[in-house]
Structure 1
Amino acid sequence: MSVLLTDADTTVAAGRRLADLLRAGDLVVLTGGLGAGKTTFTRGLGEGLGVRGAVTSPTFVIARVHPSLVGGPELVHVDAYRLGGAAELDDLDLDSELDEAVTVVEWGAGLAEGLADERLEITLVADPETESRTLTATGVGARWADVDVESHLQEAPDAGPDATDDEGGVP
């Protein structure tokens, strides 16, 4: 399934919505070229999970751990771009935290699949002419077999300013 994200704000919002589906032990493998929105999407995941600290690219530190501020799982954010292979990823000892955290591995295709049999693989492809990007999500394993990822990634239709119920709230 694929979703069109029109700009950075919609990319962050899609990450926030996807966070509702994530739980401790989930592995998300992000793939996409430079500037495709991997870190932007992860920032939204972090916001949705309610973690501490600004989610920024961990390119130079390789991995960052963002503890939960709301009693949920922490976010382990990994950038595998500079890693030389699966052995270097294994050296990070991610599997020791995998059960307690949501782990996101940018540039993880071809490296991170060995961390878990069940994972969510997300590919972001940027349109060089616009700020838009296409997000494709594929669930791997029993964990994702019956999960409707697409509906969580889709932007909720704007009800408009006049769409309120009798109590002044949104219907």
Structure 2
Amino acid sequence: MIDEQHRSIRCETAAETQACAQQLAKELGAGDVVILEGPLGAGKTTFTQGLARGLDVQGRVTSPTFQIAREHHPNGAGPTLIHVDAYRLLEAGEDPLDALESLDLITEMDRAVVVAEWGGGMMEQLAESYIHVIIDRTTAVDETPESEARIISWRRVDAARSRG
């Protein structure tokens, strides 16, 4: 499991971002929740594609924007990957727990890794702890405007402690 330690890596390309996520996937299992934070175009879906490759799931990973959640079943005995666009759930103005229940995510947790783009403030309620991933494109672009680099930071957060 991922420990409380904060980790960070600079990825120069989309392929490096996917490789970073593929490595992180080796530390994930059914019941894990991954919350992706970053502005539009930061690479959240690219990161999820790497997680999918690391989890060895079926199907092409694309942005879940218009379907809210996409489910990718494992090729072997591993967990299913559920890729969620939580922004659309928050945008609808529903109570976050009602929205999660409508997706049936809570009942799927024992067999899935849930990855949520824009999931902060909602997805933390799914598990006792979650992996918070921040994808920073601003720092690299401020240094070199034509840069494609992103700085990816992650840590496991105790959800009960963060709800305080």
Bigger fraction of residues in helix: 2
Verify the 8 A CA contact 1:26 1:103 in the aligned structure 2.
yes
Work out which of the residue numbers 124, 132, 152 in structure 1 matches 2:149.
132
Residue 36, structure 1, aligned to residue 46, structure 2: no
* Partner of residue 3, structure 2: none
Return the TM-score normalized by structure 2: 0.82
Choose 78-87 or 31-40, whichever is displaced more.
78-87
Q: Which amino acid aligns with 1:12?
A: Q
Return the TM-score normalized by structure 1: 0.79
Residues 58-108 of structure 1: CA distance to partner in whole angstroms, max 9, x if unpaired? 010000110000221110110112223514234212111011101101100
Q: Which amino acid aligns with 1:43?
A: Q
Matches within 5 A, 1:10-29: 10-29=16-35
Residue 83, structure 1, aligned to residue 89, structure 2: yes
Verify the 8 A CA contact 2:100 2:106 in the aligned structure 1.
no
* Partner of residue 132, structure 2: 121
Residue 46, structure 1, aligned to residue 63, structure 2: no
Divergent runs of 4+, >2 A: 87-91
Any unmatched runs of 5+ in structure 1?
143-171
Q: Which amino acid aligns with 2:123?
A: A
| SS at structure 2 position matched to 1:70 | coil
Q: Which amino acid aligns with 2:113?
A: V
| SS at structure 2 position matched to 1:58 | coil
Choose 121-130 or 93-102, whichever is displaced more.
121-130
Verify the 8 A CA contact 1:80 1:89 in the aligned structure 2.
no
Choose 63-72 or 125-134, whichever is displaced more.
125-134
Any unmatched runs of 5+ in structure 2?
1-6, 160-164
* Partner of residue 162, structure 1: none
Choose 125-134 or 62-71, whichever is displaced more.
125-134
| SS at structure 2 position matched to 1:29 | strand
Output the CA distance in 1 between the equivalents of 2:89 and 2:101: 10
Query: RMSD across aligned C-alpha pairs, in angstroms?
Result: 1.5
Q: Which amino acid aligns with 1:139?
A: R
Q: Matched residues, percent identical? A: 48
* Partner of residue 117, structure 2: 106
Residues 124-170 of structure 1: CA distance to partner in whole angstroms, max 9, x if unpaired? 0113421111111021239xxxxxxxxxxxxxxxxxxxxxxxxxxxx
Output the CA distance in 2 between the equivalents of 1:94 and 1:30: 17
